[in-house]
Amino acid sequence: MVFYYLISILLLFPLSIIAQTSEQKIDIVQSYLDAAFQKDIETQRSHMSEQIIDYHPTILAAPAKGIDELLMGWNNTMQPLDSVNYERTGSGLVRLTDGVLYGEWVLETGMVHMKFPNTKEWIKMQMVGLYKIEKGKIIEVRNFGNMMDLYQQMGYTLTPPGK
């Protein structure tokens, strides 16, 4: 009986470490996003690896490489907004077993609410983000937003070629 009890503890102990590590990774991403949308640059910076790369729909034409470039793009994207807030809709850990994005990623889903100057309506954009954590810091970010919906809310229309 004692033998089975010890085996159970030994088998469950590593699982509790994995779960704790997963929760810590999710906490890092949530703190990072909260700081980003509250314009708390120092907290946002504290969660980033020096080698961070961010594939993000910001004002930058190419992925941001490094903390300073990422923060510049984020600041330039946020600057024209009167108000912005983020509503988290879900978080979890995703383990990709092969391919270019191999590894453990935190998956974060949410809704970004934005208000531009001289507008009455809020614009909403659904966001899905993947965040890779190494050594307690975010090393890679891949964010995806519904840009077509965003542009339509801003009054743009899509005209097919030849029309």
Order of all β-strands in the sheet with 48-55: 64-65, 48-55, 137-145, 123-134, 103-115, 83-96
Looking at the structure of the chain, the number of domains it has is 1
Is 158 within the bounds of a domain?
A: no
Which helix (H) or strand (E) element contains residue 93?
strand 83-96
Residue 64's CATH number: 3.10.450.50
Asked if residue 44 lies in contact with residue 35, where contact means CB atoms within 8 angstroms, the answer is yes
3-state SS class at 16: helix
Is 147 within the bounds of a domain?
A: yes
pLDDT of 139 reads 94
Per-residue pLDDT of the chain (163 residues; tens, 9 = 90+): 554 444 444 444 444 444 448 889 999 999 999 988 888 889 999 999 999 988 876 655 678 888 888 888 777 777 777 788 889 999 999 988 999 888 889 999 999 888 888 878 888 889 899 999 998 999 999 988 887 887 888 788 888 888 7
pLDDT of 10 reads 45
Q: Which domain holds residue 70?
A: 2-153
Is 24 within the bounds of a domain?
A: yes
pLDDT of 30 reads 93
pLDDT of 4 reads 47
Is 96 within the bounds of a domain?
A: yes
Select from 10, 9, 51, 41 the least CA-distant residue to 141: 51
CA–CA dist 135, 34 (Å, integer): 20
Is 83 within the bounds of a domain?
A: yes
Select from 69, 58, 73, 65 the least CA-distant residue to 125: 58
Is 99 within the bounds of a domain?
A: yes
pLDDT of 59 reads 56
pLDDT of 19 reads 41
Asked if residue 90 lies in contact with residue 74, where contact means CB atoms within 8 angstroms, the answer is no
pLDDT of 158 reads 83
Is 65 within the bounds of a domain?
A: yes
Is 159 within the bounds of a domain?
A: no
pLDDT of 60 reads 59
